[in-house]
Structure 1
Amino acid sequence: MAGDLDNFYLKQPEPTKSCLLALRTIILNQDKNITAEWKYRMPMFCYKGKMLCYLWVHKTLHQPYLGIVDGKLIDHPALIMEKRARMKIMLFDANVDLPLADIEDILSKALQIAILKH
């Protein structure tokens, strides 16, 4: 639902809201086949209908993060696994400029995996 998707961003406090909105724009600008959807009660980004990544706020650290669905297949120092089997996340400090080169590198690798799986 678009309402739930919009509300997710709108209910976030600043600067988390701005960070998440910037990340949404960066993700959507990676490829015209990436769509923003509301799945599993979170903002999910899909490539040609297949889950690619998502945005969320870490429960204990209270930091926004980018979750990569097939993150276990990506080796990048900015990605952490925590206690996940398949996904890795990239945490952000909402008070600091986003590391655009790292984000785009990770998204590019995630897209390559998605294209191969599609």
Structure 2
Amino acid sequence: MKPAEEYILKQPEPFKSILLHLQILIETSFPEVDLQFKWKMPFYYLDEKPFCYLNVSKKKGYVDVGFWASAHLTKYNELLITENRKVIKSLRYFSVEDVNEEVLLSVLEEAHLLKDKGFYKRN
């Protein structure tokens, strides 16, 4: 089992359910992604470039899906959270029911297109 998968399965509820739901959505929509474990959290890579990451904040009770090159994202900007971060924007979920699949998949698709246009750097 990959360290990222082990990390997800060891999370307490509701984080584990949120992470598993996000994992299924991301991996079925983008089968070419590579799930890695970087900076103590699950990271998805495409063509060896960071695509998005899953961050659990147990203290604040949410899971973030964070995006690189977020300055270039245009879809659902009103739902993307910056919270004093200069580069990263994220979608935030407090429960599985909070996950709007249409929004998530739309932002992921746009991030995928940005990767193809060279907006992501190798990490």
**TM-score scaled by length of structure 1:** 0.88
6 and 105 in structure 1: CA distance in 2 versus 1, 3 angstrom threshold: same
Which consecutive residues of structure 1, in runs of 5 or more, have no partner in the other structure?
none
Structure 1 segments (4+ residues) deviating >3 Å: none
Kindly indicate whether the alpha-carbon contact (under 8 Å) linking 1:72 and 1:81 is maintained by their aligned counterparts in 2: no
Moved more, 65-74 or 104-113: 65-74
In the other structure, the counterpart of 1:36 is: 35
Output one character per residue of 1:16-68: Cα deviation in whole Å (capped at 9) or x when no partner.
10111110111112223211111222100011110010001136422011011
Supply the distance in 2 between the matched residues of 1:65 and 1:109 (Cα, whole angstroms): 17
Supply the distance in 2 between the matched residues of 1:34 and 1:5 (Cα, whole angstroms): 13
Which protein, 1 or 2, shows the higher relative CO under an 8 Å CA cutoff with sep ≥ 6? 2
RMSD between superposed Cα atoms in Å: 1.8
41 and 116 in structure 1: CA distance in 2 versus 1, 3 angstrom threshold: same
Q: Once the two structures are aligned, what percentage of the paired residues are identical?
A: 26
Alignment of 1:65-104 (within 5 A): 65-75=64-74, 76-94=77-95, 96-104=97-105
Aligned length: 117
**TM-score scaled by length of structure 2:** 0.85
Supply the distance in 1 between the matched residues of 2:25 and 2:34 (Cα, whole angstroms): 12
